[in-house]
Amino acid sequence: MTQPPFAALSTAIASLGTVLGLFTVQLRADGYEQYVESMANASVVMWITACLTVVTWIRYRQTNSN
């Protein structure tokens, strides 16, 4: 049984969260305040998802190492 690609998935999701965060800063600098909150929320959701993917990866490794 091959291991699911947890590392690639969590890295991609964290990268997306970072890009959304940088985009949020750029929107604020350009004066698009109406979009800043939703972009910031999306960035935080991506980072939380990446962290939960890492937790899932750790738990997967623990259950399959026995």
pTM listed for this prediction: 0.85
Cβ atoms of residues 60 and 5 within 8 Å:
no
State which H helix or E strand residue 45 sits in. Answer: helix 33-64
Measured CA angle at 45 (ends 56, 31), to 5 deg: 160
Domain ranges of the chain: 6-64
What tens digit of pLDDT does each residue of 7-62 get? Answer: 999 999 999 999 999 999 999 999 999 999 999 999 999 999 999 999 999 998 88
Closest CA to 46 of 19, 16, 24, 25: 16
